[in-house]
Chains A and B, each alone.
Chain A
């Protein structure tokens, strides 16, 4: 812990950064995001095994941006978020100071996108085994069964949009659900409104989801909606050879045409 605190204090003192986005102790046994701008605030930073929240989403938050140059305590998911945001022109090289938490408790500095890319190239970025199992279960279902499964899950949804708010890739200034001319998605949290919202969200994250799981973690109704976007990871990879959040200058598979793109999805 003191290594982290010393490092951040030094970064703040020598003005490398204006704010460090890390973790602090939260309520009950929870850990939460912290925004250290002073040595005093830095002294409250912690890093434990429970520090799993992907903090990269805060880079897009208006009031956090206004605090000045950010430093970020990143896990693998956050690194990938930064890469994906970079490829979508949301962050530039050098704009974010990244401190990466290694598995052994030590920290590595990433000062350029190239160094992040290099690291990610040697890392396992796949989804967790229990999630893989769930996806296998879903894929083994008949279309009808899968439809029922999701309908039952969406039935719980209250459209609080916590999933969207927590997702580092849902930074759109005006989300499709918020557009009312035309009203693409019914606003109501009824069967149709919930279904349309989740399908739209999954489609907009296809090939962009960095499998951090923030959406499902955020959901107060315990809907495993990360599985929706996770299920799209392999198809996109197999069809277009692309995995989200690995390269800062990647072009987005679903918005780019290549002459050798497979056309087997056209019936």
Chain B
């Protein structure tokens, strides 16, 4: 890496591709230069700029936990120019990565607490990194509950990991699909995330809630958490504004005076309430 050039990416090799759902893939990426890989570290919640040379860069969070070294993973949905090209790549191909950028989920501060993860659709990736980071040091936390919803059964990502969490006695996993999205053999819940959350009657005492998902889901989930007594300081979420540099320079990701790329992407609901409506 050229120390002088903050925009130069690391070269990464695609080691493994997993098809998660229609249009959604997970890449496991290995540093082409082993030294760079050994010196690289990140914290859960951070993101990076992934590049397909010739097409440009895209912003994804690092979906693997920081407790696992030697590789990083990203899970992405085919959306526009770069993601479409990315999806057409094969194992062994080279892409670029700049990062890690942004702030982190303060999991050190959550030790000794219950954790309630609430995710919708493609927003499980940022959450997956935190979930595994916590599960890899399971003894430090009390109850861990994961509520995950998608539009249809096919849209659920990380199916094998969901199965693994379902099996674990120390994780309470609730999966749900939107009404009409179920299949005949679907064993999970049917209903929108906020409705299911309400039915679960979450305990707010000594609990941290982490909410990631599409804006509508978040909008209707917050009142439910409020109803059960979650204070704004104990509710975390992430923002996703359009980014280019990831370094607070290109000037496009700000919400008011806050740069999502530098000051975020992780925010408590308290912080969110102080931000103007610009996201």
* A joins B in a complex: yes
User: Bound state CA distance, A183 and B84, in angstroms?
Assistant: 13
User: Bound state CA distance, A181 and B84, in angstroms?
Assistant: 10
Q: How many residues of B contact A (CB 8 A)?
A: 3
Q: Which residues of the partner chain B approach A180 to less than 8 Å between Cβ atoms?
A: 80-81
Q: Which residue of A lies closest to B85 (CB)?
A: A181
Secondary structure dominating the interface of B:
helix
Question: Which range holds the interface residue count of chain A?
Answer: under 10
Q: Which residues of the partner chain A approach B84 to less than 8 Å between Cβ atoms?
A: 181
The total number of A-B Cβ pairs within 8 Å is 6
Q: Which residues of the partner chain B approach A181 to less than 8 Å between Cβ atoms?
A: 80-81, 84
In chain A, positions 176-227 with a C-beta closer than 8 Å to chain B are 180-181, 183
Q: Which residue of A lies closest to B82 (CB)?
A: A180
Q: Which residue of B lies closest to A179 (CB)?
A: B81
In chain B, positions 51-100 with a C-beta closer than 8 Å to chain A are 80-81, 84
Q: How far in angstroms is the closest Cβ of chain B from A193?
A: 15
User: Bound state CA distance, A183 and B56, in angstroms?
Assistant: 11
Q: How far in angstroms is the closest Cβ of chain A from B188?
A: 35
User: Bound state CA distance, A100 and B84, in angstroms?
Assistant: 51
Q: How far in angstroms is the closest Cβ of chain B from A182?
A: 9
Q: Which residue of B lies closest to A181 (CB)?
A: B81
Q: How far in angstroms is the closest Cβ of chain B from A184?
A: 12
Q: Which residues of the partner chain B approach A183 to less than 8 Å between Cβ atoms?
A: 81
Q: How far in angstroms is the closest Cβ of chain B from A120?
A: 43
Q: Which residues of the partner chain A approach B80 to less than 8 Å between Cβ atoms?
A: 180-181
Q: How far in angstroms is the closest Cβ of chain A from B102?
A: 25
Proximity bits, A237-258, B CB within 8 Å = 1, else 0: 0000000000000000000000
Q: Which residues of the partner chain A approach B81 to less than 8 Å between Cβ atoms?
A: 180-181, 183
User: Bound state CA distance, A181 and B80, in angstroms?
Assistant: 8
Q: How far in angstroms is the closest Cβ of chain B from A192?
A: 16
In chain B, positions 75-129 with a C-beta closer than 8 Å to chain A are 80-81, 84
User: Bound state CA distance, A180 and B81, in angstroms?
Assistant: 7
Q: Which residue of B lies closest to A180 (CB)?
A: B81
User: Bound state CA distance, A180 and B56, in angstroms?
Assistant: 11
Q: Which residue of B lies closest to A183 (CB)?
A: B81
User: Bound state CA distance, A180 and B54, in angstroms?
Assistant: 12
User: Bound state CA distance, A181 and B88, in angstroms?
Assistant: 14
In chain A, positions 53-94 with a C-beta closer than 8 Å to chain B are none
User: Bound state CA distance, A183 and B80, in angstroms?
Assistant: 12
Q: Which residue of A lies closest to B84 (CB)?
A: A181
User: Bound state CA distance, A102 and B27, in angstroms?
Assistant: 67
User: Bound state CA distance, A181 and B85, in angstroms?
Assistant: 10
Q: How far in angstroms is the closest Cβ of chain A from B83?
A: 10
Q: How far in angstroms is the closest Cβ of chain A from B242?
A: 13
Proximity bits, A130-171, B CB within 8 Å = 1, else 0: 000000000000000000000000000000000000000000
User: Bound state CA distance, A169 and B81, in angstroms?
Assistant: 28
Q: How far in angstroms is the closest Cβ of chain B from A217?
A: 29
In chain A, positions 32-67 with a C-beta closer than 8 Å to chain B are none
User: Bound state CA distance, A180 and B80, in angstroms?
Assistant: 8
Q: Which residue of A lies closest to B56 (CB)?
A: A180
User: Bound state CA distance, A204 and B36, in angstroms?
Assistant: 49
Q: How far in angstroms is the closest Cβ of chain B from A60?
A: 25
User: Bound state CA distance, A23 and B93, in angstroms?
Assistant: 59
Q: How far in angstroms is the closest Cβ of chain B from A179?
A: 10
Q: How far in angstroms is the closest Cβ of chain A from B208?
A: 39
User: Bound state CA distance, A258 and B81, in angstroms?
Assistant: 38
User: Bound state CA distance, A181 and B83, in angstroms?
Assistant: 11
User: Bound state CA distance, A90 and B122, in angstroms?
Assistant: 38
User: Bound state CA distance, A180 and B79, in angstroms?
Assistant: 12
User: Bound state CA distance, A247 and B80, in angstroms?
Assistant: 39
Q: How far in angstroms is the closest Cβ of chain A from B80?
A: 7
Q: How far in angstroms is the closest Cβ of chain B from A169?
A: 27
Q: How far in angstroms is the closest Cβ of chain B from A90?
A: 27
Q: How far in angstroms is the closest Cβ of chain A from B52?
A: 13
Q: How far in angstroms is the closest Cβ of chain B from A240?
A: 36
User: Bound state CA distance, A95 and B80, in angstroms?
Assistant: 37
User: Bound state CA distance, A183 and B55, in angstroms?
Assistant: 9
Q: How far in angstroms is the closest Cβ of chain B from A178?
A: 12
User: Bound state CA distance, A201 and B124, in angstroms?
Assistant: 43
Q: How far in angstroms is the closest Cβ of chain A from B257?
A: 25
User: Bound state CA distance, A181 and B81, in angstroms?
Assistant: 6
User: Bound state CA distance, A180 and B84, in angstroms?
Assistant: 12
Q: How far in angstroms is the closest Cβ of chain B from A198?
A: 23
Proximity bits, A100-113, B CB within 8 Å = 1, else 0: 00000000000000
Q: How far in angstroms is the closest Cβ of chain B from A188?
A: 12
Rank and list the top 6 A-B pairs by shortest CB-CB distance, nearest first: A180-B81, A181-B81, A181-B80, A181-B84, A180-B80, A183-B81
Q: Which residues of A contact B (CB under 8 A)?
A: 180-181, 183
* Residue contacts A-B, CB under 8 angstroms, 6 given: A180-B80, A180-B81, A181-B80, A181-B81, A181-B84, A183-B81
